[in-house]
Amino acid sequence: MKIDGEDYSYQTEVSDGIISLVPGTIKPGTHRIQVQMKTKQGLIIEPIEWKFRVAKTGIDLRSEINFDGDLSVRQSAEYLGGYSKDVSGINGKMNIGLLWIKSRNSFRITSRESEFQQSQNRFSGKIELGDYLHIHFGDFNPRLSSFLLDGKRVRGLGVDLQLPSFRFQFVQGELNRPVQWTGKVDGGYQLVANKSSINSTGHITYFMDRTGYTFRQAINAFRLSFDFNSKFLFGIHFLKAKDEISSVEKLFSHQAGLNVDTTIAGLSESGIPVGEYTYSQFLDSVTIGGHSISFSDKNWGGKDPVDNLVFGFDIGSTFDNRNLKFDFSWNMSLSNKNIWDGAMTLTEMDTTLDDSLDGLIMGEIDTSSIPFDPSSVEDYIIINPYMTPLLPIDYVSFEDHPIATIINMPSAAFRLRLKGNYSWNSFRIEYRQIGPAFTSLGNPYLTKNVREFFIQDRLALLDHKLFLTTSFKHQDNKILSSINDPLSTNTFSGSFNLMPGPGVPSIMVNVQSVNKNNFQEMELIDPGAPDTREDSKMVNTVMSVNFPFELKGLKQNLIINVNTVKNSDELSNKRSSGYLFMKANTKGYSVNLSTQLRLGLRTLFSVTKTELIMPTDSGDQIFSWTGLGLTANYSMRKNTINLTGGVSFFDVGTSRLYGGKLGGSYKILEQLNMGVSGNLQLSQNLISDNVWSWSTSSLILTAGYRF
């Protein structure tokens, strides 16, 4: 441990993962601590640094202000597969504050920023008033619920007020910014040939459509939770996300090009010539010819605007001195995939789909079962025939099976979880179900139509030097009774980790078995139809051995990794002779040897080999890849200069790749450093007469200043 560069390691005590130091008298002002560490295998870990202040008698606001940050720039020129790309960027952080209030700010500006896509730049700010109030602004990643909003970037404002028994989280901003077009021909306006027409008088109506746009997607969300001495936990959460139709303009100022092809031009002998036009040029050509354009104000051919409402609650409690925790979360969503025409009244919904005022929507849903007019709640959710679900609860089923009806609602998602965390044992038991119609724009990648049961147990033995972990997960998509061939997946996992301590070999072994079954019977498959039955087993085995040793006074670390994936068809004896089981097997091996040489030189030598066994009609075909690599890092002048370099070789059978890299960094001042790195890779085609080609290359320049 160092304070302001002075080594205090001889005064430092380390016990049970806690570092203690009583340095004696330190002058008032700002000081910097640096903790240098190594792994149990002797590998150097990047030092951890932070600042602290020593106050003096009296109040001096200037001396009480803590200010630090960094600024870095990066410029890269890359060539890959015949394409060149130059990217530049600036990153910065600035932290300022007193003991009771702090401001943390960061930004990233990149040349990849474009008006034709979502923003690549990032501007983030955070104000902390102690541990009780945090205010976010700019770009941030809030977490309210795993079903609601769980780390997706939001640009806007966030408030997190946390008191001993009360917490309020609020998010307001946008998930997507508006994008008017893609910057390409037909990327904003497009002529649709099959909808354009000519009448008997020769008048041509050109049908034009709007493409390449993205609506601004606004979001408002909150979570309110209570903690009554950890004996009873309760929270409610809410999310509203909606595309703003007005954020995309029908006619925009950019010179967006559209293409007139032979189909459009061939509508008339005096039609518009083939070529590319801007909207204004095309409009002038149409007007001069005495023709017209059909261009709707809505219902364009691009993405339809959507609306989303999610709400739910969670309850929980802790037991056994907070070592055991139980929680339950239930959520429901309403999602509308097309809000072009806005909300509808009950009468409009009755006559829209069946053209008869019979008190039934789509001939099935009784309008009297809807207790309000849909147009009265359009500020919360736009209700029209595109909303899913149109009625959240099946009232007929609810009368006979109320609990099952609520649990299995297509638009519901819930989770039951029990977690235990003890010094020698930790476990988790969880059941989760997400309906096929559950949608949250705050978590768009959430897997739908899935039921999961998961159990895991982890034992720590031999004074936390040996860890044994086992788990089981069942997953299926049999939520709705209408699913005829549900896919069931059972996953068994077990791992063994032995880490005795520094300088002693360690070993890790993990085995995972995945069984999939869709319960199809051959008798139910039409004769001549493909065999779509699934009953397979996949076994994935990973083993890693870390062996540190010393040879001729040099510290060495040998790491051996083995990975195999074996797939088998459990119905192989019931398949037809021509059936091909299209799941490949793989084998992977790697050996890595790191060496700590004298005079600040470290090297890493690696050997890798991968085999892919691919089934074909003529039998298994084996593809093999072999790689060799050697990298070195050399530090001198007390780590002010660091040089790196390496060479690599990769044989993929049909070609060989030869690569090299070289780089270095120079710490000009304690706070200022600069670096440069580059790599080059050449390809030798073994099939085409050993033709050599330039595969990839890059040159990266960096500079950073810390204050």
pLDDT digits (tens, 9 = 90+) for 236-279: 999 999 999 999 999 987 788 999 988 888 887 767 889 999 99
Strands, E assignment, 518-553: 535-551
CA–CA separation, 213 vs 257, rounded Å?
A: 14
Instruction: Reply yes or no on whether the pLDDT at 392 is more than 70.
Output: no
**Is residue 443 a contact partner of residue 150, using CB atoms and an 8 Å limit?**
yes
CB-based contacts of 404: which residues, under 8 Å, 6+ apart?
397
Confidence of residue 454 (pLDDT cuts 50, 70, 90): very high
Tokens representing residue 453 in the block: 């049961």
In this predicted model, what pLDDT tens digit does every residue of 1-55 receive, in sequence order? Answer: 788 878 777 677 776 567 777 777 777 778 888 888 766 555 667 788 878 777 6
CB atoms within 10 A of CB 312: 22
The tens digit of pLDDT for each residue in 543-560 reads 999 999 998 888 999 999
Q: Of 156, 102, 169, 97, which is closest to residue 124 (Cα–Cα)? A: 156
| pLDDT score of 28 | 78
SS3 247: helix
Q: Quote the pLDDT of residue 50.
A: 79
What's the confidence (pLDDT) of residue 42? 56
Helix residue spans in 365-483 (DSSP H)? 395-400, 402-407
**Minimal CA–CA distance to 704: which of 90, 154, 152, 289?**
90
Contact of 637 with 613, CB cutoff 8 Å = no
* Residues 162-209: tens digit of each pLDDT: 998 999 999 999 999 999 999 999 999 999 988 998 888 888 999 999
DSSP 8-state assignment for residue 448:
P
Q: How far apart are CA 453 and CA 465, in angstroms?
A: 30
Q: Report the C-alpha gap between 242 and 343 in whole angstroms.
A: 13
Mean pLDDT, all residues of the chain = 88
**pLDDT tens readout for residues 129-162:** 988 999 999 999 999 999 999 999 999 999 999 9
> What is the per-residue pLDDT for 694?
84
pLDDT value for 74: 96
Q: Please give the average per-residue pLDDT across 513-539, as a whole number.
A: 82
Is the pLDDT assigned to residue 391 strictly greater than 90?
no
- Reduce the DSSP state of residue 355 to 3 states and report it: coil
Of residues 606 and 42, the one with the higher pLDDT is 606
pTM (predicted TM-score)? 0.83
Q: What are the angstrom distances between the C-alpha of 153 and each of 59, 127, 141, 159, 219?
A: 41, 18, 5, 15, 11
